Amino acid sequence: MRIALFIPCFIDTFFPDVAIATLELLERLGCRVDYPPDQTCCGQPLGNSGCHDEARACETLFVQNFAGYDYIVAPSGSCVHHVRDHLSAAPDDDVTRQVRDRTYELVEFLHDVLGVRNFPWAEFPHRVGLHNSCGTLRRLGHASASELNGPAFSKPLALLAGVKGIEFATPSRPDECCGFGGTFCITEEPVSARMGYDKVRDHSAAGASYVVSADMSCLMHQRGCAERLGLPLRFIHIAQILNGARA
């Protein structure tokens, strides 16, 4: 099984610890992971801005970097959503289609492909609020969405249940968007910040001391909001908890 690690641009630049945790976790689970060194970005910021043509070089490079792997795994749901559903500027050929189909978000890779449920090395004795990012929840199907009438399930909670000592605090609006939204957080700054403030207040009111997510971009935004509001919340990527981070 040839597995490639995709580390999105903002994680590479701002959150190397999340990338390291992802790599180490996959290695702990017995995966042999390649890191194609010429990778940059999936093209999501361009696609979401409507700049399809400007995304062509970036998306073509993505396909070149990750062609031929059985699985491409990334610790970022929204990037995987882009690759799978919106990566359309690269040439529409078999290679591109394979790359799109074989790209997995870390949680679904662990849950669906490896089928792992226990993380004996992991212990996280804190009250944790889960943030399902919107693309991950509603497009990748990480969990049941509150709007739909169907059975409840949650892949990230199923994984976190295998961590010792962890407790959960559920916000009153568990799958309300936090307002990050990619370039939305800049172009619609007033609404974005207000949504972020409401989100972190909701987590705080629910009694969470940590917010965990499979999407670091949402956490970056929420952390920025919580720090500005002076709320004592901390933020951590799910890969870090599953890899055994204590705090």
Partner 1 sequence: MSRRVDHAKASRAFIGDEPHIRFHDKRLWGLRELRDQAAHGIAEWEQLRALASQIKEHTLGNLAGYLEQFDRTARANGVVVHWAADAAEHNRIVHDLLAERGVDLLVKSKSMLTEECEMRPYLEARGIEVVETDLGERIQQLDGEMPSHIVVPAVHKLAADVAEVFADSIGTDRANADPHYLAEGMRQDTRPYFLRAGAGMTGCNFAVAETGTVVVCTNEGNADLSANLPPIHIASIGIEKLIPRLSDLAVFVRMLSRSALGSPITQYTSHFRAPREGGELHYVLVDNGRSARLAMDDFWYSLKCIRCGACMNTCPVYRRSGGLSYGGVYAGPIGAIINPTFDLKKYSALPFASTLNGSCSNVCPVKINIHEQIYKWRQIVAAQGHVGFVKRESMKLAGAVLGDPRRYRKLSETTGRAIAGLPRAFLYNPFNAWGKQRELPAAPKQTFHQWYAANRPSERVKPTVPCMAEPAAEPPQDQGETR
E strand or H helix at 103, and its extent?
Answer: strand 103-105
Q: Where are the alpha helices (DSSP H) in the chain?
A: 9-14, 16-28, 44-48, 56-66, 77-81, 94-102, 106-108, 134, 155-160, 184-187, 189-205, 216-229, 238-242
Number of H helices, E strands in the chain: 13, 8
Whole-number minimum distance, CB 126 to partner 1, in Å?
21
Cβ closest to partner 1, residue 45 vs residue 156: 45
Whole-number minimum distance, CB 113 to partner 1, in Å?
23
Whole-number minimum distance, CB 118 to partner 1, in Å?
27
Cβ closest to partner 1, residue 45 vs residue 129: 45
Neighbour-count burial for 159-172, b at 16+ CB within 10 Å, e otherwise:
bbeebeebeebebe
Whole-number minimum distance, CB 185 to partner 1, in Å?
7
Q: Are 179 and 218 in contact (CB under 8 A)?
A: no
Cβ closest to partner 1, residue 15 vs residue 163: 15
Whole-number minimum distance, CB 59 to partner 1, in Å?
8
Whole-number minimum distance, CB 60 to partner 1, in Å?
7
Cβ closest to partner 1, residue 51 vs residue 116: 51
Cβ closest to partner 1, residue 169 vs residue 195: 195
Cβ closest to partner 1, residue 115 vs residue 190: 190
Cβ closest to partner 1, residue 60 vs residue 116: 60
Whole-number minimum distance, CB 174 to partner 1, in Å?
12
Residues 59 and 107: their CA atoms lie apart, in Å, by 23
Cα 183 from chain centre: 17
CA distances from 220 to 11, 50, 112, 122, 200 (A): 10, 23, 27, 23, 12
Sheet with 127-131: list strands edge to edge: 167-168, 127-131, 210-213, 234-237
